[in-house]
Amino acid sequence: MAGEKAIILVEDNYEDPEFWYPYYRLKEEGFEVTIVAPEKKRTYGSKHGYPVISEATPEEINIDDIAVVVVPGGFAPDRLRRYDSILELLRAADRNGAVIASICHAAWVAISAGITKGRRMTCVKAIKDDLVNSGANFVDEALVIDGNMVTSRTPADLPVFVKGIIDAIKPR
């Protein structure tokens, strides 16, 4: 995976392990990982107060260079889905066939981007109805891969989630 580029989206109240586990695993695989948020060089806090500093805004990303977009859960997705630039980034990534990896509440961002209809996906049960109402086919499994969409339910699913991300990128 050396030379591949990944972005991880962040906003306040992100779920700590759902951000950091993929971040470090992708780096271990050789990915160049960029932290993307609505504001550049801003410190965002996790649900437990752990800080992360954003490195770029969506407008600064050349989506043609990106192999994977990771959207961690927590309550950050409820904030992320309010930014048109974030939603357009996800739409562009989907059009380009980049892997879009969402865990837990992160399906909210894909729902708001309008890229869930007809897809097999999973999420935390708290937003299952939102996913179903968006036209997705909800599956209650630890890992669901449908084309370039990789989804998982909760932090307990992180080992298969990140393996699924890496496996989904290999055919590129």
Mean pLDDT value across the chain: 96
Q: Residue 40: left if φ>0, alpha if ψ -120 to 50, beta else—which one?
A: beta
* pLDDT tens-digit series, residues 88-108: 999 999 999 999 999 999 999
* pLDDT tens-digit series, residues 33-71: 999 999 999 999 999 999 999 999 999 999 999 999 999
* Residues annotated as catalytic (active site), given as ranges: 105
Q: How large is the average pLDDT for residues 18-39?
A: 97
At 3 the pLDDT is 81
CATH of segment(s) 5-169: 3.40.50.880
pTM (two decimals): 0.95
